[in-house]
Structure 1
Amino acid sequence: MLSERTPRWFVTGTDTGVGKTFISAALLHALATRHARVVGMKPVAAGLVLREGRMVSEDVLQLRAASTVQVPADLDNPVALPDPLSPHLAARRAQRPVQVAELVSAFEALCTHADAVLVEGAGGWRVPLNDSETLADLARALKAPVVMVVGMRLGCLNHALLTAEAVRADGLTLAGWVANVIDPDMACLDENIQTLQARLGAPLLGVVPWQPQPDAAAIQLALPQVAP
């Protein structure tokens, strides 16, 4: 049975390319002020690059850099797929089936090394893992409060409100959200943030301005809520 003793959060986004990894790294730095052993987990990484003679995910490298302990690679990134595609398509192409149960097992083992775990999804809330399961099913299996990264650009209001609705419909808590400015020229930025504050019904953990050279360690974010 899944242990619920280790605090955990699941980071999702309103879309792909909204800065989930960057915000996850910033949250790990924030969590490290309260917990000694903080670890980021990327259950499924699709899209690998060659680094020091090994094929790895750049997202995973960023999470490891922000974590306070090192763990076996098959725990913080149990599934690494070569092609930058939706996980179910990348898995199919690699002939490497992915199941929620396998990812939960890796999470359970990871918890023995950590005082707090931050799990980063891929893409948005309903991204498929296989023919029948999605990343939302993983978050539900982990019973993890959700942190939503909103990429602040035209169209984000609809994406954010629908994602929040889906998270709650799946029985999970929206523990907080981060406004990450990915369009430096977005019109009515403050008004859009105010609209989301009024409608999302969850704490705003921070507004992250657009940066040409992002530095996760320099970002100040509030800590997300824990499970009720």
Structure 2
Amino acid sequence: MHSMKGLFITGTDTEVGKTFVTVSMLQQLASRRFKVVGFKPVASGCSGSSQELRNADALALQAASTIELSYQQVNPYAFEPAIAPHIAAQQSGRVIELSALHQHYAELEKLNPDFILTEGAGGWRLPLDQNCYLSDFARQEKMEVILVVGMRLGCLNHAVLSAETIERDGLKLAGWVANQIELDMPDIKSNLESLKHRLTAPFLGYIPRLNDPESSQQYLDLTPLL
């Protein structure tokens, strides 16, 4: 039977480089001849007409997938305002449903990819409505989790809290990536060593400030995920 691996890429916060890392992972897995699919369940900050809303992050995942996907398959819930998705959903009279996300995910599984990389929105506890979080979707599908640590002041606290919560939720933290987002962060090396000491999951790499995900492949080692 074909074995598919589902990975959920979350971050220590919003704007820490989840898309950058997810695209880089898709590209590296594709270069190893794996069939890969990128999935962005929920996205706000989309542009276009109300019928044709598009999100730049989701488009990047679509382009990096080795299986041809429609935009709707990559990003079923797209909202125009660049605000928390559950608030954007309320404002547009929509409800983000876990059952619908499960159906979308099941359709992707039917395409027989080797990996589905699901990019979260914001951090681990992103609300979908009053009672539900995007992390519940990761739990529902029993995904393994990759944590993108945005390297800036305060990242140690955010990283440790996120890792503890992911594991308390019963999911495997399959690896973590340090992504440099604060250009002049003092003592980067010492902070990196502190993270390596406190996070027990495999360290997949440190990415310095870059503009192109393809050039980041050399900084990631995905061997622990294979």
Tell me the equivalent position of 1:76: 74
CA distance in 1, matches of 2:91, 2:2: 34
TM-superposed deviation, 1:162: 0.2
TM-superposed deviation, 1:98: 0.4
* 2:201 is the counterpart of 1:215: no
Q: Structure 1: which amino acid aligns with 2:142?
A: K
SS, match of residue 194 in structure 1 = helix
Tell me the equivalent position of 1:126: 125
On the 8 A contact 1:7/1:226 being kept in 2, the answer is no
| Deviation digits for residues 182-205 of structure 1 (CA, Å, limit 9, x no counterpart) | 011000001001000011001111
For residue 13 of structure 1, the aligned residue among 7, 11, 14 is 11
Q: Structure 2: which amino acid aligns with 1:69?
A: I
Q: Structure 2: which amino acid aligns with 1:70?
A: E
SS, match of residue 107 in structure 1 = helix
| Deviation digits for residues 157-213 of structure 1 (CA, Å, limit 9, x no counterpart) | 0000000000000000110000000011000001001000011001111100012xx
With 24-33 and 174-183 compared, the bigger mean Cα shift is at: 24-33
On the 8 A contact 2:59/2:71 being kept in 1, the answer is no
* 2:47 is the counterpart of 1:49: yes
TM-superposed deviation, 1:46: 0.9
CA distance in 2, matches of 1:100, 1:23: 25
TM-superposed deviation, 1:226: 4.8
Q: TM-score, normalised by structure 2?
A: 0.93
TM-superposed deviation, 1:44: 0.5
TM-superposed deviation, 1:49: 2.0
TM-superposed deviation, 1:115: 2.4
* 2:179 is the counterpart of 1:146: no
| Deviation digits for residues 131-151 of structure 1 (CA, Å, limit 9, x no counterpart) | 111011011011011000000
CA distance in 2, matches of 1:80, 1:131: 19
SS, match of residue 101 in structure 2 = helix
Q: Structure 2: which amino acid aligns with 1:176?
A: G
Aligned length: 222
Percent of paired sites with the same residue:
44
Q: TM-score, normalised by structure 1?
A: 0.92
Tell me the equivalent position of 1:27: 25
CA distance 1:158–1:118, shift in 2 (3 Å): same
5+ long unaligned stretches in structure 2: none
Tell me the equivalent position of 1:38: 36
For residue 64 of structure 1, the aligned residue among 62, 67, 87 is 62
Q: Structure 1: which amino acid aligns with 2:141?
A: L
TM-superposed deviation, 1:35: 4.4
SS, match of residue 31 in structure 2 = coil
Tell me the equivalent position of 2:94: 96
SS, match of residue 10 in structure 2 = strand
CA distance in 1, matches of 2:81, 2:222: 33
SS, match of residue 122 in structure 2 = coil
Q: Structure 2: which amino acid aligns with 1:16?
A: T
SS, match of residue 219 in structure 1 = helix
| Deviation digits for residues 31-57 of structure 1 (CA, Å, limit 9, x no counterpart) | 213444211000001111239x94300
CA distance in 2, matches of 1:109, 1:4: 15
TM-superposed deviation, 1:225: 4.4
Tell me the equivalent position of 1:167: 166
Q: Structure 2: which amino acid aligns with 1:108?
A: A
SS, match of residue 53 in structure 2 = strand
5+ long unaligned stretches in structure 1: none
TM-superposed deviation, 1:87: 1.4
TM-superposed deviation, 1:224: 6.4
CA distance in 1, matches of 2:170, 2:119: 19
CA distance 1:4–1:188, shift in 2 (3 Å): farther
